[in-house]
Amino acid sequence: MQSWHYQTIINASQNGHTLRQYMRNDILIPKTIYHALRVQRAMTLNGHYQSVNNVVHTGDKINLTFTAADFNKRQPHYVPDNTRQIPILYENKDLLVANKPAGIKTHPNQPYETGTLMNYLTAYLAQAPYIVHRLDMATSGAILVAKNPVVVPILNRLLSQKKITRQYFAWVHGHLPSQGTINLAIGRDIADKRKRQVAGIQAVNAVTHYQSIKQTPTATLLAVWLETGRTHQIRVHFSYYDHPLIGDPLYDPKALQFSRLLLHSAKMHLLLPFSLQPINIKAPTPTDFYPLSINDNKPR
């Protein structure tokens, strides 16, 4: 059976915690997996199985062994596709951050579909990766992918706790205040199943923060942060105020004048699982994100 081995070292901020606190709160091991490690005695403190009530000290070594049986998430299956090289922005043994091109889907919707990010990464890794979050097909930029099931729930918890954050660049039509927050629930569009709308069907809370970077006579370049991660959230929020994202095939009436949706996942702040080492990653913006008809100066 496939297994994954990790050794971590207690740091000063974790000194004095119980082994249980360290596992559950410090390195975010989910309850069910923590229970499996206990039952199998697959976690040791300084080389020996210890009570989870034991206090850990700076420099102590924790060894963890996970097996495929610990996870109810099955190994994904994607058809490998080596017809395209995807730029890799960061990679270690557990995860990678890719710079997704605009115009390709994050994952296939049919069993034998190819041409998506997951297909290309399956060929690159020689194994199927695990989806942590998604980018719309028309959106480019940094996207986080897990290489094994061990780190998937940890990354999900880091995302939900806002310890992994992303910043987007977006061009919108018209002019906006220098900064602001949009707090409007988003649900399914009543008339078009492809779309979402403010106060739509089964609407859920959605919060978007933005800051203006540059204005031209007809458009504004924004830096955008999401407090929530709803489908089409940035696109729906700005289109609701009559400032749709430029080139948006669903929400911009002038989309056909542009070659692509001008939305890019530009920066990611990431805490690495287990070590919680902070990593800041930038995704270079593609040249077609700055059409001369809008702007000829890129933000730094």
**Catalytic site positions:** 136
| Tokens at 22, concatenated | 């360290």
* Angstrom distances, CA of residue 278 to CA of 13, 164, 270: 15, 9, 6
Q: Assign residue 97 a region (left: φ > 0; alpha: ψ between -120 and 50; beta: otherwise).
A: beta
CB neighbour class for 32 (10 Å; exposed up to 12, middle 13-18, buried from 19): exposed
* CB count in 10 Å sphere of residue 292: 6
Q: Are 119 and 81 in contact (CB under 8 A)?
A: yes
* CB count in 10 Å sphere of residue 17: 17
Measure the CA–CA gap between 290 and 297, rounded to whole angstroms: 8
Q: What share of the chain is helix, strand, coil (3-state, %, to 5)?
A: 20, 30, 50
Measure the CA–CA gap between 266 and 97, rounded to whole angstroms: 12
Q: Are 129 and 122 in contact (CB under 8 A)?
A: yes
Of the candidates 52, 62, 41, the residue with the CA atom closest to the CA atom of residue 18: 52
25-31: long-range contacts (C-beta < 8 A, 24 or more apart)? Answer: 26/276, 27/154, 27/273, 27/274, 27/276, 28/153, 28/154, 28/157, 28/158, 28/273, 29/154, 30/153, 30/154, 30/157
